[in-house]
Amino acid sequence: MPEILSKPPVFRFAPSPNGLLHLGHALSALINHDMATQSGGRFLLRIEDIDTARCRPEFEAAIYEDLTWLGLGWEKPVRRQSDHFAFYAKRLKQLIERELAYPSFLSRSEIKAAVAEKETSGRAWPRDPDGAPHYPGDERHWNASERAKMLATGGQHAWRLDMRKALGEIEGPLFWQETGAGPDSETEVVSADPAEWGDIVLSRSDAPSSYHLSVTLDDALQGITHVVRGQDLFHATSVHRLLQRLLDLPEPVYHHHRLILDAAGKKLSKSDGATGLAAYRAAGHSAADIRALLL
Binding site for ligand GLU (CB under 6 A): 14-16, 48, 215, 229, 233
Q: Are 230 and 256 in contact (CB under 8 A)?
A: yes
- Residue 39 or 231 with smaller CB distance to ligand GLU: 231
- Residue 103 or 252 with smaller CB distance to ligand GLU: 252
Q: Are 230 and 259 in contact (CB under 8 A)?
A: yes
We find the least distance from the C-beta atom of residue 170 to ligand GLU, in angstroms, to be 21
Instruction: State the Cα–Cα distance between residues 15 and 32, nearest whole angstrom.
Output: 12
- Residue 157 or 226 with smaller CB distance to ligand GLU: 226
Q: How many CB atoms lie within 10 A of CB 63?
A: 21
We find the least distance from the C-beta atom of residue 228 to ligand GLU, in angstroms, to be 8
DSSP 77: S
We find the least distance from the C-beta atom of residue 15 to ligand GLU, in angstroms, to be 5
DSSP 42: E
Instruction: State the Cα–Cα distance between residues 140 and 50, nearest whole angstrom.
Output: 25
CA atoms within 13 A on the CB side of 111: 16
We find the least distance from the C-beta atom of residue 27 to ligand GLU, in angstroms, to be 13
- Residue 16 or 82 with smaller CB distance to ligand GLU: 16
We find the least distance from the C-beta atom of residue 238 to ligand GLU, in angstroms, to be 13
Instruction: State the Cα–Cα distance between residues 286 and 205, nearest whole angstrom.
Output: 42
Instruction: State the Cα–Cα distance between residues 53 and 40, nearest whole angstrom.
Output: 38
Pairing of strands 175-178, 226-230: unpaired
Instruction: State the Cα–Cα distance between residues 280 and 289, nearest whole angstrom.
Output: 9
- Residue 150 or 247 with smaller CB distance to ligand GLU: 247
- Residue 157 or 270 with smaller CB distance to ligand GLU: 270
We find the least distance from the C-beta atom of residue 10 to ligand GLU, in angstroms, to be 14
